[in-house]
Structure 1
Amino acid sequence: MPTSQSAFRAQGIHCIDTELQRPGFDAAWLVVEQGRAAFIDCGTSHAVPAMLQALAAAGLGPEAVDWLILTHVHLDHAGGAGALLAHLPNAQVLVHPRGAPHLVDPSRLVAGATAVYGQAEMARHYGQVLPIDPARIVQMHDGQHIDLAGRPLLCIDTPGHARHHQCVFDARTRSWFTGDTFGISYRELDGTHGHFIIPTTSPVQFEPEPLKHSIGRLLEQQPQAMHLTHYGSVGDVARLGQQLIEQIDAMVAIGRQVLDAGTQALEERLFAALSAYYGERAAAAGLAPEAVLKVLAIDIRLNAQGLVCWLQRGSA
């Protein structure tokens, strides 16, 4: 199946740019079937107008949305859930059981993100994070099927990036909505080599073996495409999945090597080591390392922080 967004729109799958950080960085998804709709992830509260505009462009009103399915509750995926639900009178939220309490009381999420980004950056990029009425929340279970007007959506537990992560399989198109489980691949880095992809660890729950297992579960369905939050749809899934697993092992090895050299300035030394590693991969793919590292700067920083958290838990 072609992986262009126009091809997926014909199948009822719409990519929505939430415009977090920059264009083409953070996607949410709309699935439409027989006049009913489900959002998968929603970005921040600043993205609410874009979400409603995408719904209108599909010829639907807010009352047509049955589900807001959250892959996990990190703010770039779910920060705007409360604000969006205020416009969706019939929608329920499907979320991992570990994530549900943070939707009812988002204060810990907000505090954690504020500690990383600062109060001014939080307000500018993420806006207001509103609590959600528990009566509107459904806690997913592994292997759960959601019926969207006769279109089955399979939800599975996919820890590794976060312990509260799920992915959603659309049997119609044999494609997964992967959140952060299937890594990061920006469209400006596509080329003759195909897609350039890296894993995403992110603080604070990176676990390499569960993440590799989760990627394996996605590949078991022999999918034809993956719909990434960061960013858009990719094909050539088997090759990319193998690359992700190889890179997770390499990142773990880098983390152990850097830790063996001491804990002083651990994050900065990991950032430098990861940048060198991704730069080498970029050069091998025929890309300009400097350009790739500029695009990936935020993600490499988060990967360094994720590795620090994992190493400091003694997991290595």
Structure 2
Amino acid sequence: MTLPAHAEDLGHQIYAIDTGFERARFDAAYLVVDSGRAAFIDTGHNAAVPRLLDTLAALGLSRDAVDWVIPTHVHLDHAGGAGLLMTQLPQARALIHPRGARHLINPLALVEGARAVYGVEVVRQTYGTVEPIPAERVVESHDAMEILLGQRPLRLIDTPGHARHHHCIWDARSRGWFTGDTFGISYREFDTAAGPWMFPSTTPVQFDPDALRQSIDRLLESDPQVLYPTHFSRVDNVPRVAAQFREVLDQFVSGARAVQADWPADRAERVRRLEAMVASTLLASARKAGISLAEEAVLALLQMDVTLNAQGINVWLSQGTARKTEPEG
């Protein structure tokens, strides 16, 4: 078996697929296999679908072998290609958080929310036409739900904090969580001899630090040995990255409150100050983690995260006045 260049065998019949979204090793979808049956966890955008199908074929599996497509949540870098992928998988059902299911059945509000954050032209060029998933092929998850993939149990729990339409998936065989964005982001460019570095994703518009802390606590109750975040791929040394995550989250909150204490009336100025806070917090955390890349290189890799995290924190500080830009669920 030879995997395509965009796919990696992570062990335990789990495969990470680089979706090609934004840059190499930025956005992952996962293919999980057991007893000749398969599931995709997150899909990337429409342009990723050929990569997902190529990986399936490289493993000698037919499209009929896929039982489940499971977006961790409905943000378009995770689920934008789910509808198109489902058209190619005749036996698959889509397992979606109940707050997000209707937005993949009818993606109009989801796309409008993305346009409000990124702009109409960016959404058109990046995501294309987001295809709906027929309602009869959608299954809504619930907290502590368990499904069988072949003989392999997968358990889903509700994990708000990044988004209210987010669930995470536990795989007992690898003792790992597929965490979407709940457990944050860990880019492989920042790996050091000491291990990976991880930080929270507070992107618009449903960031809730208290809920996020509770979700992380629930994930850690299972004593995971590995995490599978969408950004990007397998992360080991869970206690280390959990400590990093919590420290940065606390610093985001305290830094945001400091900005709020001198709150500019102008939204653009508020976001600019929050961007400066987010950038300095992440840079300090990266240095503490032993990352020796030049400051310019670190900030270049984090540019999108700084911008979106600041926007999400601004919405949170503004007590939800901008929540209408994303599906409420």
Instruction: Determine the structure 1 residue equivalent to 2:10.
Output: 8
Asked whether the equivalents of residues 19 and 47 of structure 1 are also in contact (C-alpha less than 8 Å), the reply is: yes
Q: Distance in 2 between matches of 1:101 and 1:314?
A: 21
Q: Distance in 2 between matches of 1:73 and 1:37?
A: 21
Deviation at 1:128, TM superposition (A): 1.3
Instruction: Determine the structure 2 residue equivalent to 1:269.
Output: 273
Instruction: Determine the structure 1 residue equivalent to 2:180.
Output: 179
Once the two structures are superposed, residues 174-207 of structure 1 have per-residue CA deviations (whole angstroms, 9 ceiling, x without a partner) of 0110000111000011012311111001100000
Deviation at 1:37, TM superposition (A): 0.2
Deviation at 1:241, TM superposition (A): 1.0
Letter matched to residue 123 of structure 1:
R
Q: Distance in 1 between matches of 2:31 and 2:288?
A: 35
Letter matched to residue 276 of structure 1:
S
Asked whether the equivalents of residues 80 and 128 of structure 1 are also in contact (C-alpha less than 8 Å), the reply is: no
TM-score, normalised by the number of residues in structure 1:
0.95
Letter matched to residue 10 of structure 2:
F
- Which range is displaced more, 50-59 or 121-130? 121-130
TM-score, normalised by the number of residues in structure 2:
0.91
Asked whether the equivalents of residues 15 and 29 of structure 1 are also in contact (C-alpha less than 8 Å), the reply is: yes
Instruction: Determine the structure 2 residue equivalent to 1:89.
Output: 90
Asked whether the equivalents of residues 179 and 230 of structure 2 are also in contact (C-alpha less than 8 Å), the reply is: yes
Once the two structures are superposed, residues 283-309 of structure 1 have per-residue CA deviations (whole angstroms, 9 ceiling, x without a partner) of 223323322211111011111011001
The DSSP-based 3-state class of the residue aligned with 1:232 is: coil
Question: How many aligned residue pairs are there?
Answer: 310
Once the two structures are superposed, residues 63-119 of structure 1 have per-residue CA deviations (whole angstroms, 9 ceiling, x without a partner) of 100000110000000011110000000000001100011011111111111122222
Instruction: Indicate how the Cα distance of structure 1 residues 220 and 179 shifts in structure 2: closer, same or farther if over 3 A, else same.
Output: same
Letter matched to residue 314 of structure 2:
V
Q: Distance in 2 between matches of 1:309 and 1:300?
A: 14
- Asked whether 1:280 is paired with 2:284, we answer yes
Deviation at 1:261, TM superposition (A): 1.2
The DSSP-based 3-state class of the residue aligned with 1:28 is: strand
Q: Distance in 2 between matches of 1:45 and 1:122?
A: 12
Deviation at 1:7, TM superposition (A): 6.1
Runs of 5+ in structure 1 lacking a partner?
none
Once the two structures are superposed, residues 25-75 of structure 1 have per-residue CA deviations (whole angstroms, 9 ceiling, x without a partner) of 000000011110000010111111011011011110111000001100000
Q: Distance in 2 between matches of 1:250 and 1:6?
A: 34
The DSSP-based 3-state class of the residue aligned with 1:108 is: helix
Deviation at 1:6, TM superposition (A): 5.9
The DSSP-based 3-state class of the residue aligned with 1:14 is: strand
Instruction: Determine the structure 2 residue equivalent to 1:60.
Output: 61
Q: Distance in 2 between matches of 1:243 and 1:285?
A: 8
Instruction: Determine the structure 2 residue equivalent to 1:298.
Output: 304
Deviation at 1:260, TM superposition (A): 1.1
Give the RMSD, CA atoms, in angstroms: 1.4
Instruction: Determine the structure 1 residue equivalent to 2:315.
Output: 309
Runs of 5+ in structure 2 lacking a partner?
1-6, 322-329
Instruction: Indicate how the Cα distance of structure 1 residues 6 and 106 shifts in structure 2: closer, same or farther if over 3 A, else same.
Output: closer
Asked whether the equivalents of residues 279 and 290 of structure 1 are also in contact (C-alpha less than 8 Å), the reply is: no
